[in-house]
Structure 1
Amino acid sequence: MGDAIRYPNMGTVKKAAEIYGLSPVYIRRLCKEGKIRYVNAGHMWLVNLDSLARYFEQGDPGPAELGSTIHGIRRAVR
């Protein structure tokens, strides 16, 4: 069963801020700048917590590739 679907570890901006001891404003700014992945679900922003962890582990790599992403989610290119 190597074809199992792996869902991202998502959390609210508030939860992400609490985990890292940061302000929600800073987390939202990282999202807006394309530095971490997120989804805007109506009025709620859901942050990809794995992406946020990689951001802090690797440092600031610059803006994410925006050509193939929508709100931080990579779309399939066919």
Structure 2
Amino acid sequence: MDLLIFLGIGAVAGWIAGNVMKGNGFGLIGNMVVGVVGAFVGKYLFGFFGFAFAGMIGTLMAAVSGAVILIFIIGLIKR
């Protein structure tokens, strides 16, 4: 059940990150997929540096951060 919630948060994070990173997005579905992957990236990176987020809002913040970073990196590679 926690995984489903995390996937949902990742999808929302991808949508938010796509709106933040205008011009580097991948469409609605693509941004949601990148958001789910970015959620895992964000959770890992913040955990690696010793930051822990509690609750859905904290998880969403980490997921959006990871998704923005991932969209930025993919945008650099696509050039």
Q: TM-score, normalised by structure 1?
A: 0.34
Higher relative contact order, chain-length normalized (CA < 8 Å, sep 6+): 2
Larger strand proportion of the pair: 1
Q: TM-score, normalised by structure 2?
A: 0.34
